[in-house]
Structure 1
Amino acid sequence: MVVVLFEGVDLLDVTGPPEVFSLARRETEDAAGYEVVLAAGTTDPVATAAGVRVLPDATFEAMCTRRIDTLIVPGAVEVDDRRRVRALTDPAVVEWVRRLAERTRRVTSVCVGAHILAAAGLLDGKRATTHWSTARQLADDHPAVEVDADPIFVREGDVWTGAGISSCLDLSLALVADDLGEAVALRVARQLVMYLKRPSGQSQFSVPLEQVSTTRRVEELRHHIMRNLAEPLTVADLAARLHVSDRQLTRIFKTELGTTPHAYIESARVEAARHRLESTDATLDRLATTCGFGTVDTLVRAFRRRLDTTPTEYRRRFRTGLAG
């Protein structure tokens, strides 16, 4: 297993996956192939974006003479004076990744590392994800890639792409489950005190973090929605609160929050139901009522649509993940 290193790389992208694989080695003798090699252009220390210097184990050139089980490609970004984020792709690193991938069983990217895979031609014709802040850049720079900014990770055959930085742990757990089974991945998740396992289709971020409005009126409306999830919350009522038409409200939501009013409300209700499933013994009937779904069937359909799981399975997995 090889982790690609280069100047300015995000530190958690580099250290997160090896920690998961290290724990997997403790859990089973079948994980003998999980030894991690950090590879770079030279064996000189590499400065990460956090300022921490990491010492490579080998050079890219040396690794090109070996068979590689899993290639992990982290990412790096630059932020301009207007706080706009842009993924970096060093042509030399891209070329090495292309060469290493030819000798690799499985290729993965963490966060904006997807931009490197795309530049190497490894995502052409494939669905892929990346950190939400650079998804538009990935789509613009590489039109042959089907970019999906929402999931925490995407698998396309032997190519896996991960989303936001902390989702490297979810991606790594999915790799462990794929190799060694759900039971081993569950034990690793327990050691990490994580929920096993966030479905690949789950959104990168929760509703309150994701959709921060830039105008006071929409921000106030957003808080109104969060405080009144059990109420009908029709588009007409919300539009009236802003003194705009239904069509204007939809346009405002798409511009300010990147979604429709209906989709935002459903996401908020699913988020509220998730927290109650994690922390209470409330029945599904009760959750459907208090979170505004109305019926259990509607609650279940929303969970399947948003999280690719059911409320019952979500609760079972979460509590199992905390057990022991």
Structure 2
Amino acid sequence: MHTVAVLALDGVVPFDMSTPIDTFGRARLPDGRDAYRVRVCAATEEVEADGGVFTLRAHWGLEALAEADTVVVPGTPDVSAGVPPEVADALRAAARAGTRIASICVGAFVLAQTGLLDGLRATTHWAATGELAHRYPEIKVDPDVLYVDNGRILTSAGAAAGLDLCLHMIRCDLGTAVAADTARICVMPLERDGGQAQFIVHEPPAPDGATLEPLLRWMTENSRQELTLADIAARAGMSTRTLNRRFREQTGTTPLQWLQHTRIRHAQHLLETTAHSVERIAAQTGFGSPTAFRDRFRRHVGTSPYAYRRAFRSTRRQPGPPATPVPAAPAPAGV
């Protein structure tokens, strides 16, 4: 029987830990037998969960990693915390032995510290992808996907994306029928539309200084118009070359890219809070045509306008688009 070892580090996030326990534990072979043996292991006899909500007594120690076919590493809230040397050694030894190793959410930081992600594509919770890329530049961080499968090393995005990853591994091990049955038991689709990009609030980049703020507010107020670079430069009273340079300096992007971010965020709000058709929203947000809107929306958000609305439509409608200040981007640490 395939053995899954779930590694509980001190401060483990309970949801991250319970996801593989529950998902693999529910998987059944066609004849009704358990498909997996799940073991929770730790470096110490007792582990305190995130926030001290409970103390876990693990039945297995790190030797379970050597005996497992799959090792799953849940996240802990402090991504800067060092991995105990004995844990890092056990993970590296398991990898050398050919064990499949997967992380959930910010558990990717644990694998990163061991060097197991060096040179590989990986993901983590969208709010922590910048931190992962900054700390470990040798990792090819993909902020948009729900999970990444490199063969023997896998990583998932935040929270519920761990379910997607576990179902993916079950499908790889036992086929679509077993994975689909497990998904039904978990009340979870076997595959979700899009990646984690759809869960990110796509605010336009905030400026470092105040000199462009009046222009940004004007662009926001007129974003449904067919603004060209020349139009924006004329409003700013500068050449297009100077405008591009100032925009790069203060926002890290171009005027037209900033405008697209603004239009996408407005479209997300309308999809979430109104029943307006895609055609109407395309016109309201300045995309010109429904086809252009659908294409730009999918490229920015990672899913279609229809799928986004289905996932995020509010049951309570709101009167109109929100005022759009230029907010500071959220810090990725402490996910």
RMSD of equivalent CA atoms:
4.3
Higher relative contact order (CA 8 A, sep 6+): 2
Name stretches of at least 5 consecutive residues in structure 2 with no aligned partner: 316-335
Aligned pair partner of 1:170 in 161, 167, 177? 161
Alignment of 1:278-317 (within 5 A): 280-312=274-306, 314=308
Q: Which has the higher helix share?
A: 1
Structure 2 residue 47 is the aligned partner of structure 1 residue 45? yes
Asked which structure has the greater CA Rg, the reply is: 2
Question: Once the 2 structures are TM-superposed, how far is the Cα of residue 63 of structure 1 from its aligned partner?
Answer: 0.5
Q: Deviations over 1:97-146 (max 9, x none)?
A: 22334567532223332232123232232112234565455445544322
1:287/1:149 CA distance change after superposition, 3 Å: same
In structure 1, what residue type is equivalent to 2:52?
A: G
Q: Deviations over 1:37-58 (max 9, x none)?
A: 332102223353x233431433
Question: In 2, are the aligned partners of 1:162 and 1:171 still within 8 Å (CA)?
Answer: yes
Task: Name the SS of the counterpart of 1:117 in structure 2.
Answer: helix
Question: In 2, are the aligned partners of 1:4 and 1:40 still within 8 Å (CA)?
Answer: yes
After TM superposition, the score normalised by the length of structure 1 is 0.70
Structure 2 residue 201 is the aligned partner of structure 1 residue 199? no
Percentage identity across aligned positions? 29
CA distance in 1, matches of 2:6, 2:247: 40
1:162/1:229 CA distance change after superposition, 3 Å: farther
Structure 2 residue 91 is the aligned partner of structure 1 residue 97? yes
1:69 corresponding residue in structure 2: 70
CA distance in 1, matches of 2:32, 2:312: 27
CA distance in 2, matches of 1:20, 1:246: 57
Question: In 1, are the aligned partners of 2:12 and 2:74 still within 8 Å (CA)?
Answer: no
In structure 2, what residue type is equivalent to 1:270?
A: I
1:215/1:132 CA distance change after superposition, 3 Å: farther
CA distance in 1, matches of 2:272, 2:100: 34
In structure 2, what residue type is equivalent to 1:179?
A: I
Question: Once the 2 structures are TM-superposed, how far is the Cα of residue 256 of structure 1 from its aligned partner?
Answer: 5.3
CA distance in 2, matches of 1:47, 1:272: 39
Structure 2 residue 2 is the aligned partner of structure 1 residue 6? no
Name stretches of at least 5 consecutive residues in structure 1 with no aligned partner: 79-85
1:120/1:212 CA distance change after superposition, 3 Å: same
1:148 corresponding residue in structure 2: 142
1:264/1:36 CA distance change after superposition, 3 Å: farther
Figure out how many residues of one structure are paired with residues of the other and give that number: 304
Alignment of 1:163-242 (within 5 A): 163=157, 167-177=158-168, 179-180=170-171, 181=176, 183=180, 187=184, 197-200=192-195, 202=197, 205-208=200-203, 211=205, 228-238=222-232
